[in-house]
Amino acid sequence: MPLDLAHFVTLDRYDAMDRVGAEVSHFLLQTPDAQYDAWRADVHGQFVDDASGLGGYVTVPGARVRKHHIGDVDVGLLYMPELAADSVSATLHAGLGLPTTISDTAVVSDGMTSRIADTALAIPRGTTARVGGSLQWGEDALFARGDLALDANLEAAGGRVDPIVRGGAGFGIIAGAAALMAEAEMLVGGPFDPIAATGALSVRLDAGPLQIYGAYVFGLDHTTRTDMSGAFVLGTDVPL
């Protein structure tokens, strides 16, 4: 399977590719009174031992909205069990978002809207247990992914945030040195009433020793469509 480029942008990153990377995104945050530049960035890395299927990951995110910088560091373990079908793989993850934000506000920041899969990392001074699993499928030039996860906040500034259930799905095709993808992510619970959902059209390019990716992210629910004008994401991964 040509899976070297089969990695989505807004879904969970956990899979078999050992890598380090970074990304940045920008959108205009709409409010009743004004609009603001919203920026999100992160550095991330992961590895999985081929023999045991065990590995680990780390994500260090940040965002800037109205001059507030936020971000809870996320560290955790990965496990990829052996499956009978060669075209299907599974990844389980269990991690902890650490209270590394510099904000004392009790409001979950809008700065994570461009990557709502990591909304739990925007909980001010939040300690959050993150568990879930993913299935990846690939056959010839086609590939797909599905995610299901739970982010359970244990402690936060201003009081604990309700648990967040996350689900995501994506489909892609590899054409030469590029992968073209469509993906969607939905969150239920937490600060959302009743849901938050985004879609994305994304591309990943093979640039020799690294991969370059980009995406246009848009809201699927009424609140996200109203608050976010549409986000542009640009990032790079370096396979290890």
pLDDT tens per residue across span 68-116:
666 899 999 999 999 989 999 999 999 999 998 876 554 556 777 899 9
Quick one: 34 exposed, middle or buried, by C-beta within 10 A (0-12, 13-18, 19+)? exposed
Residue 11 placed within a domain: no
Tokens encoding 166: 């996350």
Residue 80 placed within a domain: yes
- 87-90: Cβ within 8 A, 24+ apart: 87/1, 87/137, 87/138, 87/139, 88/135, 88/136, 88/137, 89/15, 89/16, 89/135, 89/136, 90/133, 90/134, 90/135, 90/136
Given a contact cutoff of 8 angstroms between Cβ atoms, the answer to whether 91 and 66 are in contact is no
User: Is the whole model's pTM more than 0.85, yes or no?
Assistant: yes
User: Residue 193: what pLDDT?
Assistant: 74
CATH of the domain at 212: 2.40.160.40
Residue 3 placed within a domain: no
* Total count of domains within the chain: 1
| Residue-number span of the structural domain to which 114 is assigned | 19-239
Residue 12 placed within a domain: no
Residue 178 placed within a domain: yes
Residue 6 placed within a domain: no
Q: What is the pLDDT of residues 113-137, one digit of tens each?
A: 899 999 999 888 899 999 999 999 9
User: Residue 105: what pLDDT?
Assistant: 57
User: Residue 38: what pLDDT?
Assistant: 87
Residue 165 placed within a domain: yes
Tokens encoding 78: 């990965």
For residue 2, is pLDDT > 50?
Answer: no
Q: What are phi and psi of 208, to 5 degrees?
A: 80, -110
Residue with tokens 């500034």: 157
Q: What is the pLDDT of residues 4-59, one digit of tens each?
A: 899 999 999 999 999 999 999 999 888 777 788 888 999 999 999 999 999 999 99
Separation between Cα atoms, residue 114 and residue 42, nearest integer Å: 12
Residue 10 placed within a domain: no
Given a contact cutoff of 8 angstroms between Cβ atoms, the answer to whether 127 and 99 are in contact is yes
